[in-house]
Structure 1
Amino acid sequence: MPAPVTQRVQKRRDALRAAGLRPVQIWVPDTRRPGFADECRRQARAVAAADATDHDLDAFMDAVLADLSDETDK
């Protein structure tokens, strides 16, 4: 007869801890919540508007992309 689920889960958790890992619980936004998509659009528009007024952003992004290209060419 197979071990009960709780025993298998505990064995797995013990193995992970023995490997130097620890559990972490995080809370994330509920993407199913009404209004979630609208809030995403609102925040994306706010970021886009802020980016549009930052004239140094394009030069910064180009420099970063150039650095990345240099790293991948090696």
Structure 2
Amino acid sequence: MSDAERAELLAKGWRPVEVWVPDWDSPAFERRMREDSEAINRVDSRSGELDRLAEEVDDLWIDPAP
């Protein structure tokens, strides 16, 4: 972004913000996601809650007829 574009946006009342997102290539992030997924699977295998939820929202993924 050029200085002129930045100045124009600031003049219009916009402000810059910094957004942090996960680094999907990071081994630490991959490890954390694997651990979290395994924990969710362990809990769900006992409760069946994810299966129930998936069945409940299944029809939301079907595109309506044109």
* TM-score (normalised: structure 2): 0.56
Partner of 2:57: 64
Cα RMSD, aligned residues only: 2.9
1:40 to 33, 46, 58: 33
Between the aligned partners of 2:60 and 2:24, the Cα distance in structure 1 is 35
Between the aligned partners of 1:53 and 1:31, the Cα distance in structure 2 is 29
Task: Determine which structure has more spread, i.e. the larger CA radius of gyration.
Answer: 1
Between the aligned partners of 2:23 and 2:60, the Cα distance in structure 1 is 36
Task: Give the share of equivalent positions with the same residue, in percent.
Answer: 28
Partner of 1:14: 7
Q: Which has the higher contact order (CA 8 A, sep 6+)?
A: 2
Indicate how the Cα distance of structure 1 residues 27 and 67 shifts in structure 2: closer, same or farther if over 3 A, else same.
Answer: closer
Structure 1 unpaired stretches of 5+: 1-7
* TM-score (normalised: structure 1): 0.53
